[in-house]
A = this chain, B = another copy of it.
Amino acid sequence: MIDTFGRLLREDIGFGDITSQLAIPEDLSAQAKVIAKEACLIAGLAYLSENVTKLGLKVTVLIKDGENAEKGDIVALIEGNARKVLAMERVFLNILGRMSGIATTTRRILNKINKTNPNVRIAATRKTLLGPLDKMAVIVGGGDPHRWNLSDHILIKDSHIALVGIEEAVKRVKKKSFIRKIEVEVETVEDAFKVMNLGVDIILLDNFKPKEVSQVVKELGDRGLKGKIILEASGGINEENVKEYAECGVDVISMGLLTHSTKSIDFSIETQRKMIPQV
């Protein structure tokens, strides 16, 4: 139901792929090999092959979402009408490169902190560019998607607090549906301590230093709330310092960089004539 591929394809084709319409005979069949130009964790091929199939092309996935590809690996084959193959090439690669980039980064970070703290989760934020596809890539990489959008989770942020105050904000959201958790963002250790007693489910420690995070983790234990309140750290956490945060015993580390600044993985497509009956 996520029409990102279709939308991008319509946008890219516009009034027609004029080069292929001129250069390529209408009935020619082609086979395209999708090749990884660097080692990565594959993400997006399930989504892409479902969508490409709808165009009347045949897709064979050789390396599945969640599996590793080495540099030079053929990860999928696409066969069918040459003009159709050419028309969807760039959109296919843009999505595959983006999603595999996110998944690869997520997995690499998880590997880094795994031994330190096997239970900590790496979560995405809403700093996305392809929306739900970015979240799906984080999941393939082993990460946590966090909330999809503004209507599926209660998260009181600094802006809410600036407008109505922390106690008032928490009090008000208690009228929420019983299926929701309450999460509150705090910016100081003092506020973290204060919020512990307000009956929330998750505390988001924004821009805390590792030492401060540890302080909050300890206090939570001392109050016997360990396991009852989830602690999430966020803000200024990157691949260099993520391990320090993981060592603090926090439950979740959310990192904007997973989606807003990840390098796309480089894939290429090699196309050749195919003596198959056109699909």
Decide: A264 and B127 in contact? CB cutoff 8 A.
Answer: yes
Mask: chain A, 135-175; 1 = CB below 8 Å from B; 0 = not: 10000000011111111111111111011100011001101
Decide: A121 and B178 in contact? CB cutoff 8 A.
Answer: yes
Which of A16-24, A68-76, A188-196, A215-223 is near enough to bind chain B? A16-24
Decide: A154 and B22 in contact? CB cutoff 8 A.
Answer: yes
Decide: B19 and A94 in contact? CB cutoff 8 A.
Answer: no
CB nearest neighbor in B for A273: B163
Knowing A121-B178, A126-B90 touch, does A24 contact B164 (C-beta < 8 A)? yes
Decide: A264 and B260 in contact? CB cutoff 8 A.
Answer: yes
Knowing A23-B164, A148-B151, A169-B23 touch, does A18 contact B176 (C-beta < 8 A)? yes
Kindly report how many copies of this chain are found in the complex they form together: 6
Q: Within residues 1 to 52 of chain A, which ones have a CB less than 8 A from any CB in chain B?
A: 1-2, 8-20, 22-25, 28, 30, 32
Knowing A163-B271, A260-B94 touch, does A178 contact B123 (C-beta < 8 A)? yes
Mask: chain A, 115-141; 1 = CB below 8 Å from B; 0 = not: 000000101001111111001000000
Q: Within residues 241 to 279 of chain A, which ones have a CB less than 8 A from any CB in chain B?
A: 251-252, 260-264, 269-273
| Chain B residues with CB under 8 A of A197 | none
Q: Which of B28, B177, B183 contacts A144 (CB 8 A)?
A: B177
Decide: A149 and B1 in contact? CB cutoff 8 A.
Answer: no
Number of interface residues of A (CB under 8 A): 90
The minimal Cβ–Cβ distance linking A9 to chain B, given in whole angstroms, is 7
The minimal Cβ–Cβ distance linking A275 to chain B, given in whole angstroms, is 13
| Chain B residues with CB under 8 A of A168 | 23
Decide: B156 and A19 in contact? CB cutoff 8 A.
Answer: yes
Residue A77 at the B interface, CB < 8 A?
Answer: no
| Chain B residues with CB under 8 A of A261 | 101, 262-264
Residue A212 at the B interface, CB < 8 A?
Answer: no
Q: Which of B12, B20, B23, B181 contacts A126 (CB 8 A)?
A: B12
Residue A200 at the B interface, CB < 8 A?
Answer: no
| Chain B residues with CB under 8 A of A28 | 163-164
Residue A63 at the B interface, CB < 8 A?
Answer: no
Binding site for B on A (CB under 8 A): 1-2, 8-20, 22-25, 28, 30, 32, 82, 85-87, 89-90, 93-94, 97-98, 101, 121, 123, 126-132, 135, 144-160, 162-164, 168-169, 172-173, 175-181, 183, 202, 230, 232, 251-252, 260-264, 269-273
- The 11 sampled A-B contact pairs (Cβ below 8 Å) are A1-B10, A11-B149, A13-B151, A19-B155, A19-B157, A20-B150, A23-B164, A30-B163, A123-B178, A147-B179, A260-B263
